[in-house]
Structures are given as C-alpha cells and as structure tokens.
C-alpha cells in the first residue's frame, strides 16, 4: 500500500513539473512533427524507388517517427534525476522512509503518460499527412504500446547513465551520440534491403529498428506476427535488463555518498 501511495506522489510531482515547463512540452512535440512533415515531404518520391514496396512514403515513415519520438524522449529522461540530485531532492527522498523503487516507478509512470500523449499526437499528424493505419484502433493501441516500451527502456537506460555521470551536459551529449546512429542505422527512413549490408546487420541489434519493424506490422490489417513477436520480445528483454542496470546504478550512486 505504501509503495502504491509513494509511487502516486512521485508520479503527481513529476507530472506537475513536466507541465510547468511548457517549453519542454512544446519541444518534445514540435521536433517529431517537424521530422514527420519535412521527411515526409522532401523524401516523398522515395516510395517510387524500385524495391520500396509501392506504398506512400508517409505510410512507411509514420510508425518510424512515432518510435523515434518516444526513443528521443526516453533518452533524455535521466535529466530529471540529475536535477533532483543537484537540488538535493534525491538525497532527501533516499533519507525518507519512501520506497526507493517508488522514486523510479513514479517517474516512469509520468514518462509513460507523456509518451502516450506524444505517440498519439504523432499518429494524428501522420494520419493528417495521409497515413491510413488500416489496422484500426487495435493497431494504434499496439503501436503506442510498442512505442512506450521502447521509450521506457531508453528512459531507464538514460536514468542509469545519469546516475553515473550526474551532469546534464554529459547525459545530453550521450543521448545525442547514441540516438543519432540508432535513427540512421535502422529501417526507419528506407527499407533495409535498399541499404548496405553492414547497416542491415547493425539494425538487427538496434532497439529502434525492433520497434519500427513491429510497429509497421501492427497497424496493418493482417500483421505478420512472426515479425511482431520476436521484435517486441527483444524490447521487453531490453526493458528488463535496463531495470536491473538502474538498480545497480542506484547502489553505485549511494556508495559514492
């Protein structure tokens, strides 16, 4: 019971902070919308390339941008804990009788809420630009779930890194360094059969690519589950591994105190 209430209070606090900084809310939405619009327009003729598959480019790009937006949001999720460390809030919470896991779970719940909102906005924008989402509401729910799973996995990894570096600049640099290659070494912009072999090989280990592959399937009328299930399982595995890593990072953080 105490774990639930502790988690609730941290969740409410995190949500309030998020919405009190409108700039961040705006940036986390505007950036992916711009990606969707600019890439969708500039590369619209990509769909005509032989071997692309014939569908419209926005149909192809849409799920990828949804995944990318939650991944980028997740990659920066650790900034919150660095701020809490700097302000002494993290230590105050650790001294208190609060469940330690509530500190992480409460913040993750807030990330989940904001990622769902973000994913739905992206889906809306993609639909406005011409994507059909033929799998209907169920497909959209599945797509959003996969996007949030990717975002949370990245979010926990970001928190892990944050607890090691404890500096905003370092985390931001690490986030950019990691997300940029993940974006380009995936099948997000172009089918993997059209890119060099090494990119395709790398993409097999790329969480963004797992999410994109699975996401593209679930929004169709007949998803290929042999693609969805393994890729989603990798994401679940990444989530579990990152949870274990963040616990170790908390222990390491406390050892340095």
Write out the residues near another protein by the rule CB under 8 A.
2, 5-6, 9, 13, 16-17, 20-21, 86-89, 91-98, 254-257
6 neighbors 109 (Cβ within 8 angstroms): no
Provide, rounded to whole angstroms, the least separation between the CB of residue 102 and another protein: 9
Least distance (Å) between residue 16 CB and another protein: 7
Closest to 216 (Cα-Cα) out of 69, 66, 73, 28: 66
Q: C-beta of 5: minimal distance to another protein in Å?
A: 7
Q: How far is the CB of 10 from another protein (least distance, A)?
A: 9
CB of 111 to another protein, least distance (A): 16
As measured in angstroms, the least distance from the Cβ of 77 to another protein is 16
Is the Cβ of residue 55 or residue 87 nearer to another protein in the bound state?
Answer: 87
Rounded to the nearest angstrom, the gap between the alpha carbon of residue 43 and the centroid of all alpha carbons in its chain is 24
- Lookup result for tokens 């912009």: 189
Q: What are the residues whose beta carbons fall under 8 Å from the beta carbon of 140, sequence distance 6 or more?
A: 123, 133, 219
Nearer to another protein, 21 or 138 (CB): 21
Closer CB to another protein, 197 or 256, in the complex:
256
The residue (of 21 and 173) whose beta carbon lies closer to another protein is 21
Query: Burial, 238: exposed, middle or buried (Cβ in 10 Å; 0-12, 13-18, 19+)?
Result: buried
Is 68 within 8 Å of 208 (Cβ atoms)? yes
Specify whether the CB–CB gap between 30 and 129 falls below 8 A: no
Candidates 156, 161, 216; CA nearest to 186 is: 216
Tokens at residue 90, please?
Answer: 């993290």
Phi, psi of 53 (to 5 degrees): 120, -10
- Minimum separation from the CB atom of position 17 to another protein (A): 5
Between CA 7 and CA 109 the distance in angstroms is 9
CA–CA–CA angle 60, 62, 68 (5° rounding): 115
Burial degree of 134 (CB within 10 A; 0-12, 13-18, 19+): exposed
Shorter beta-carbon distance to another protein: residue 21 or 241:
21
């Amino acid at each position: 019971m105490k774990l639930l209430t502790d988690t609730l209070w941290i969740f409410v606090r995190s949500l309030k902070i998020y919405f009190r900084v409108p700039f961040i809310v705006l940036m986390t939405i505007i950036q992916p919308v711009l990606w969707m619009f600019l890439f969708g327009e500039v590369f619209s003729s990509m769909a005509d390339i032989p071997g692309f598959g014939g569908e419209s480019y926005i149909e192809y790009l849409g799920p990828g941008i949804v995944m990318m937006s939650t991944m980028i949001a997740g990659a920066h999720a650790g900034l919150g804990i660095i701020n809490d460390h700097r302000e002494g809030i993290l230590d105050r919470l650790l001294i208190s009788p609060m469940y330690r896991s509530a500190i992480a779970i409460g913040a993750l719940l807030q990330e989940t809420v904001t990622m769902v909102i973000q994913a739905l906005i992206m889906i809306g924008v993609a639909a406005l630009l011409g994507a059909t989402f033929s799998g209907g509401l169920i497909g959209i729910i599945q797509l959003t779930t996969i996007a949030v799973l990717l975002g949370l996995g990245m979010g926990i990894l970001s928190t892990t890194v944050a607890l090691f570096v404890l500096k905003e600049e370092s985390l931001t640099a690490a986030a950019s360094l990691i997300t940029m290659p993940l974006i380009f070494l995936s099948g997000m912009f172009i089918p993997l059969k059209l890119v060099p072999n090494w990119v395709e090989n790398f993409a097999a280990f790329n969480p963004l690519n797992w999410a994109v592959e699975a996401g593209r399937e679930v929004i169709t009328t007949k998803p290929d589950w042999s693609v969805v299930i393994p890729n989603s399982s990798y994401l679940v595995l990444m989530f579990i591994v990152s949870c274990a890593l963040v616990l170790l990072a908390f222990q390491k953080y406390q050892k340095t105190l």
